[in-house]
Chain A
Amino acid sequence: MSVVAPAIDANPLREGLEQERVPDASCLVIFGASGDLTQRKLIPALYSLAHDGLLPAGQTIVGYARPDYTDDAFRMAMREACDKFARVRPVDDAVWDNFAKGLFYVKGEFAEPDGILRLNAKLKECDQTRGTGGRRIYYLAVPPNFFPVIAELLGREKMVTDPEQGGPFTRVIIEKPFGHDLASAKELNKVAVTTFRERQVFRIDHYLGKETVQNLLVLRFANGIFEPFWNRQYIDHVQVTVAESIGVEKRGPYFETAGISRDIIQNHMLQLVSLIGMEPPVAFEADAVRDEKVKVLRALREFPRGHEIDAAVRGQYTDGSVLGEKAIAYRKEVNVDPHSNVETYAALKIFVDNWRWADVPFYIRAGKRLPKRVTDISIHFRPAPYPLFNKLTNVTMQPNVLAIRIQPDEGISLKFDSKVPGPTVRTAPVTMEFRYATSFGAEPPEAYERLLLETMLGDSTLFARRDEVETAWAWLDPLLNAWGADPRGPELYPAGTWGPEAADRLIERDGRKWRRP
């Protein structure tokens, strides 16, 4: 019998293993390696991937920042970070020792050509010693204003290659904010595609790395029972809440320029809305999924010209208490203008103008210093067409609600009415509940773990594409401009409450009310 050599484009020994997809070893360069994000999220996430056997032997991480570290000092600092923040703790010494062998540091300014040259030399050295084969991932954990200069230097030094032109891969990861408005987002994207191709750009929205967000697609498109009801015929309205109990903490300067609308609504919330509203993609592939998501964003009803602020409410927290602890007003926070009109809360009533969602309102709200930290989507179904039991009992039937809890205590619940046992026909709402912790036990991986791994594997499904970002800005800009021009400023709400009263009126004037998440 003749023996056929196996194909070598994939490792056949990976078939059936928990770690079925392991990327090719590359050099991952973190620009801004001395920052909070690197210590709290990136290195702990990379270590956790190594712990779970998901990083290839030879995977190399090079930190690039201003402080004067040696490789060993950088390794020690990163070990401390993992001891504090890694998902898998305590840190496994054997795994860490091997992981740390692939950690290096290069000192340099972001706009310093010599620094970039030193970096390039280190990367080439790693190609020789660690088998990274010229493959590069640049993680820009830096303020957006540094992106153009870093991109330019990388391009000038020929540190960007592309398999389509016969070279090894180069990918770049950009952190939000992706601009401040449509114009700045376009400018940023223009710079990005001067040096990189769009397929090389990975824009991180860490919400997309959350298991429950990804489960939205599975819930909708892997189950036959939901999709037939997922439209205007059966759904009365949709609510999305992103609530944080914390204030702005140390992020005052950033928040003063962003507000909750730029920080949460333009990206995380619109991503959630597009996942709820999208049509089934033709395949579970990056562009197929993102094509459908961007169609939802394009279908968002424009704010009425001259009356933009009527469809929205903005608020700002004042002194109050959250979970029994005193909380100071936003205007008293460190590095915040004492007369600031920046919104720490926003609620919007929006519409997706297409066949599926025509006239179904999506009520979305996001805020800081709310009573608890929770991200929750609820689909509120229309009531039964004929009130058969209400006539008998005078009891108001409650509409069915499918609630998807994104965080914390991730899960899905369905509320429906049931007969209360007894000789009379009485009904009461009951809940059918699925919780990740109950059914699957193990803690899900951190969003950054998933997103870093997907970047290494070259799969951009869970990343925002250029047109998504720009379409979102194009839709939101008129409201932000109108707010900017409105001298009234945000309505104040005490910290620890569910936002300004106007937010309640926004939904209650439609005969509905916010669901308590």
Chain B
Amino acid sequence: MASAMTDIANADVRVDVNDIEKSLSELWRGQKDGDDAVTRAALWNVVAHTSTSEFHATASETLGRASASVPQRTIVVRSNPAAEAELSSWISANCHLIGDGKQVCSEEINLVAGGDRIHRVPPVVNALLIPDMPVAFWWLGDLPNEHEDYVELLLESADKLIVDSVHFDSPADLALVARIAEQTSTSPADLNWGRLEEWRAATASIFDPPDMRSRLSTIRRVRVIAGSSNHEFFGESIESLLYASWLSAQAGHNVESSGAVEGVAGTIDYTFERRYQSNDVGAISLVEISFEDGAVASIARDRERGVLVANVDGSVTVQSVTRTLNQRLDELIVRQLKRSEGDKVLRRVLPIALKLAKRVG
């Protein structure tokens, strides 16, 4: 069996679209009972939807790596209505050593659809989902503003919709995700929100000491500085926007539809600044939170040491250090898949982000 798995893991095998399940069964049939060198495992169905060969390659590579941490049936779809009419499929296995010569393998199915054949994609994908197992749908690239039926059919069985808002070109995309969160049972997940986790943890650490918690209601100003490419692209602002929206939501601030923010102590001034940098475009580099008494808490990225350092001037609270997380795509995906439940906080944050988007220049 190990050799059969190695063969299939090394090369995609082209199979007939109607025979995908049968071909997958044959893949495993060679394994002898009691032979525990190869274990087939899946905790999720993960469907990646792409429209270009570059995104397709990214999705396949990313999910292949992610399957080491979260075994999954991976289905990568490349769908392009403008391409030549076709529907073809390949299968392969993602195998990872777990020690003692043992491997965990999960399956990957690739579908390429073009022209009017793209309409076969939703039923084919739905038929390939492993029953009783959650479905995550990862949409690569900007969200579609057309082919609504197609998208709806695809998302019908999705428990989780994963997007990366860094690719969003307008608040309308954010609004679409917020609408899905509000109107469907599909939970939204945003890789950009995942990138914020370390900033949330570092900020939370400031307010962990019991005597600091009450100061949440005395925040008067929040300043968020992020990297910029000097292009006016909306996606570059979203990390800052989500951060500020999260702070408002959790601190109990009231955000008006105009984007004005009110707290217990009065109006809170939110400012978003961009500083040119060639890499980590859109990523936050510094946050400052000013309080009513003039004290300032700061959280700064120390890139060299790989940590975020949080300090409050004039406080006995000692400096806190939060290790930065790996921001590789597969790590971000894994973090999303390790949480089977929906993200209540993100659901709360999205409508606020839409309001605060008005303050982003």
Contact of A441 among B70, B208, B264, B345 (CB under 8 A): B70
What number of residue pairs across chains A and B have CB atoms under 8 A from each other? 137
- A8 and B213 contact, CB distance less than 8 A: yes
The 9 closest A-B pairs by CB, nearest first: A57-B320, A13-B204, A94-B305, A16-B345, A98-B321, A8-B213, A5-B217, A441-B69, A6-B252
Chain A residues in the interface with B (C-beta under 8 A): 1, 3-6, 8-19, 22, 24-25, 51, 53, 56-58, 92-95, 97-98, 101-102, 128-131, 133, 428, 430, 433, 435, 437-439, 441-442
Q: B144 at the A/B interface (Cβ < 8 Å)?
A: no
Q: B302 at the A/B interface (Cβ < 8 Å)?
A: yes
- A14 and B204 contact, CB distance less than 8 A: yes
User: What residue of chain A has the Cβ atom nearest to residue B36's Cβ?
Assistant: A433
Shortest CB–CB separation between residue A90 and chain B, in angstroms?
A: 12
In the bound complex, how far is the Cα of B317 from the Cα of A9, in angstroms?
A: 18
Q: B273 at the A/B interface (Cβ < 8 Å)?
A: no
User: What residue of chain B has the Cβ atom nearest to residue A59's Cβ?
Assistant: B318
What are the residues of chain B within 8 A of A17 when measuring CB–CB?
197, 200-201, 204
In the bound complex, how far is the Cα of B323 from the Cα of A51, in angstroms?
A: 7
- B254 and A430 contact, CB distance less than 8 A: no
- B316 and A129 contact, CB distance less than 8 A: yes
13 CB < 8 A contacts A-B: A13-B247, A16-B344, A22-B204, A22-B205, A22-B208, A53-B201, A95-B307, A98-B320, A129-B318, A130-B316, A131-B316, A428-B33, A435-B39
What are the residues of chain A within 8 A of B204 when measuring CB–CB?
11, 13-14, 17, 19, 22
Given the known interface contacts A15-B250, A98-B321, the answer about A25 and B209 at a Cβ–Cβ threshold of 8 Å is yes
What are the residues of chain A within 8 A of B253 when measuring CB–CB?
3
In the bound complex, how far is the Cα of B316 from the Cα of A222, in angstroms?
A: 44
Most buried by B among A15, A22, A25, A430: A15
- A4 and B209 contact, CB distance less than 8 A: no
Q: B285 at the A/B interface (Cβ < 8 Å)?
A: no
What are the residues of chain A within 8 A of B252 when measuring CB–CB?
3-6, 12
In the bound complex, how far is the Cα of B307 from the Cα of A5, in angstroms?
A: 31
What are the residues of chain A within 8 A of B210 when measuring CB–CB?
8, 24, 133
Q: B322 at the A/B interface (Cβ < 8 Å)?
A: yes
Chain B, 182-203, CB within 8 A of any chain A CB: 197, 200-201, 203
What are the residues of chain A within 8 A of B250 when measuring CB–CB?
6, 12-13, 15
Given the known interface contacts A57-B318, A58-B318, A98-B321, the answer about A1 and B207 at a Cβ–Cβ threshold of 8 Å is no
In the bound complex, how far is the Cα of B33 from the Cα of A129, in angstroms?
A: 63
Given the known interface contacts A57-B310, A94-B323, A98-B319, the answer about A442 and B69 at a Cβ–Cβ threshold of 8 Å is yes
Chain B, 158-204, CB within 8 A of any chain A CB: 197, 200-201, 203-204
User: What residue of chain B has the Cβ atom nearest to residue A94's Cβ?
Assistant: B305
- A5 and B305 contact, CB distance less than 8 A: no
What are the residues of chain A within 8 A of B207 when measuring CB–CB?
11, 13
In the bound complex, how far is the Cα of B98 from the Cα of A14, in angstroms?
A: 33
In the bound complex, how far is the Cα of B67 from the Cα of A441, in angstroms?
A: 9
In the bound complex, how far is the Cα of B252 from the Cα of A1, in angstroms?
A: 12
- B209 and A438 contact, CB distance less than 8 A: no
- A8 and B214 contact, CB distance less than 8 A: yes
- B209 and A13 contact, CB distance less than 8 A: no
In the bound complex, how far is the Cα of B251 from the Cα of A6, in angstroms?
A: 6
What are the residues of chain B within 8 A of A98 when measuring CB–CB?
319-321
Chain B, 235-282, CB within 8 A of any chain A CB: 247, 250-254, 262-264
What are the residues of chain A within 8 A of B319 when measuring CB–CB?
57, 98
- B208 and A1 contact, CB distance less than 8 A: no
Shortest CB–CB separation between residue B193 and chain A, in angstroms?
A: 10
Shortest CB–CB separation between residue B189 and chain A, in angstroms?
A: 12
Q: B284 at the A/B interface (Cβ < 8 Å)?
A: no
User: What residue of chain B has the Cβ atom nearest to residue A437's Cβ?
Assistant: B98
Shortest CB–CB separation between residue A302 and chain B, in angstroms?
A: 43
User: What residue of chain A has the Cβ atom nearest to residue B208's Cβ?
Assistant: A56
User: What residue of chain B has the Cβ atom nearest to residue A420's Cβ?
Assistant: B33
Most buried by A among B211, B216, B344: B216
Shortest CB–CB separation between residue B279 and chain A, in angstroms?
A: 20
In the bound complex, how far is the Cα of B254 from the Cα of A94, in angstroms?
A: 37
Given the known interface contacts A130-B318, A435-B39, the answer about A16 and B343 at a Cβ–Cβ threshold of 8 Å is yes
Interface string of B275-315 (1 = CB under 8 A from A): 00000000000000000000000000010011100100000
Known: A13-B247, A19-B204. 6 other contacts (CB 8 A): A13-B203, A13-B250, A56-B205, A131-B317, A430-B33, A433-B39
What are the residues of chain B within 8 A of A12 when measuring CB–CB?
216, 250-252
- A94 and B71 contact, CB distance less than 8 A: no
Q: B13 at the A/B interface (Cβ < 8 Å)?
A: no
In the bound complex, how far is the Cα of B156 from the Cα of A463, in angstroms?
A: 46
Shortest CB–CB separation between residue A103 and chain B, in angstroms?
A: 13
Contact of B262 among A3, A22, A442 (CB under 8 A): A3
User: What residue of chain B has the Cβ atom nearest to residue A14's Cβ?
Assistant: B204
Interface string of B313-357 (1 = CB under 8 A from A): 000111111110000000000000000000111100000000000
Most buried by B among A5, A57, A133: A57
In the bound complex, how far is the Cα of B72 from the Cα of A439, in angstroms?
A: 10
Most buried by B among A4, A9, A53, A439: A53
In the bound complex, how far is the Cα of B254 from the Cα of A92, in angstroms?
A: 40
In the bound complex, how far is the Cα of B213 from the Cα of A130, in angstroms?
A: 17
Most buried by B among A17, A133, A438: A438
In the bound complex, how far is the Cα of B344 from the Cα of A56, in angstroms?
A: 24
Contact of B205 among A4, A9, A57 (CB under 8 A): A57
In the bound complex, how far is the Cα of B256 from the Cα of A1, in angstroms?
A: 9
- A15 and B345 contact, CB distance less than 8 A: yes
What are the residues of chain B within 8 A of A56 when measuring CB–CB?
205, 208-209, 320
- B302 and A441 contact, CB distance less than 8 A: no
In the bound complex, how far is the Cα of B39 from the Cα of A10, in angstroms?
A: 43
In the bound complex, how far is the Cα of B103 from the Cα of A438, in angstroms?
A: 9
Shortest CB–CB separation between residue B95 and chain A, in angstroms?
A: 12
Q: B109 at the A/B interface (Cβ < 8 Å)?
A: no
In the bound complex, how far is the Cα of B99 from the Cα of A9, in angstroms?
A: 45
Q: B68 at the A/B interface (Cβ < 8 Å)?
A: yes
In the bound complex, how far is the Cα of B253 from the Cα of A12, in angstroms?
A: 12
Q: B11 at the A/B interface (Cβ < 8 Å)?
A: no
- A131 and B99 contact, CB distance less than 8 A: no
Shortest CB–CB separation between residue B199 and chain A, in angstroms?
A: 11
- A94 and B307 contact, CB distance less than 8 A: yes
In the bound complex, how far is the Cα of B346 from the Cα of A6, in angstroms?
A: 18
Contact of A18 among B33, B70, B201, B346 (CB under 8 A): B201
Shortest CB–CB separation between residue A467 and chain B, in angstroms?
A: 33
Most buried by B among A5, A6, A13: A13
Most buried by A among B68, B70, B316: B316
What are the residues of chain B within 8 A of A4 when measuring CB–CB?
252, 264
In the bound complex, how far is the Cα of B214 from the Cα of A345, in angstroms?
A: 57
Shortest CB–CB separation between residue B35 and chain A, in angstroms?
A: 12
In the bound complex, how far is the Cα of B254 from the Cα of A174, in angstroms?
A: 48
User: What residue of chain A has the Cβ atom nearest to residue B323's Cβ?
Assistant: A95
What are the residues of chain A within 8 A of B104 when measuring CB–CB?
437-438
Given the known interface contacts A93-B305, A94-B302, A430-B33, the answer about A6 and B316 at a Cβ–Cβ threshold of 8 Å is no
Shortest CB–CB separation between residue B205 and chain A, in angstroms?
A: 5
Given the known interface contacts A3-B252, A24-B208, A441-B69, the answer about A58 and B317 at a Cβ–Cβ threshold of 8 Å is yes
What are the residues of chain A within 8 A of B153 when measuring CB–CB?
none
- A53 and B322 contact, CB distance less than 8 A: yes
In the bound complex, how far is the Cα of B104 from the Cα of A435, in angstroms?
A: 11
Q: B43 at the A/B interface (Cβ < 8 Å)?
A: yes
What are the residues of chain A within 8 A of B322 when measuring CB–CB?
53
What are the residues of chain A within 8 A of B263 when measuring CB–CB?
3
- A94 and B251 contact, CB distance less than 8 A: no
